[in-house]
Amino acid sequence: MSQFDNIQKVLDDFKNKVISEAKNNLKSKGKLNNSLRGFVKESRNSIQLTFEMESYGAFVDRGVKGDKSSNKGNRQTESPYKFGTNSSLIGKAKGGMSGIMTKWVKQKGFQWRDKETGRFMSYKSMGYLIARSIYSKGLKPTLFFTKPFEKHFKNLPQELIEKYGLDIEKLFDQITKENFNK
């Protein structure tokens, strides 16, 4: 019997609850949902808790500041992430955010009408407009992972938190930096 058996059981339970609730919080049951997993690993003198998911999971969870979303009242203002340069908006057929949005609009099969002419807009134009809007306004945080993590962290035994010096802010930042960027 290991010195960490009870701790491992508590952390496994914590991990399972966080992952289960985070998966339920995701609206889409696609690639991000399938990639979400956690591990509790015991070593000789330590025990490690790790969460992993697709790299874009951190952006979905914590949101991304847009070019103009730093105004007060926007939820993205607390996000550590911000869109980079305007180059991703250039309408390259295969590259950049505009290209991705063009592909997405085409896949969904919808088109807007031009207000002046009444004709349907091209997929490329729609992709550009959507990409420009996202770049400008940012992405709203979903907190699909943060909320269950914080909720279940509060339920961990106080003795465990005190004994191992667990600090939710430091722990969450460490998990985000190390594991969401894989």
**99-141 pLDDT tens trace:** 888 888 898 888 899 889 999 999 998 988 888 888 888 888 8
Distance CA 125, CA 122 (A): 5
By CB atoms closer than 10 A (0-12, 13-18, 19+), residue 101 is buried
Helix (H) or strand (E) holding 39: strand 37-42
pTM for the model stands at: 0.71
Q: Backbone phi, then psi, for 164, in 5-degree steps?
A: -100, 5
Instruction: With CA atoms as reference, report the closest residue to 57 among 71, 38, 36, 76.
Output: 36
Proportion of the chain above pLDDT 70, given as a percent: 75
Distance CA 62, CA 58 (A): 6
Tell me what pLDDT residue 144 has. 94
Q: Which residues contact 12 (CB under 8 A, 6 or more apart)?
A: 40
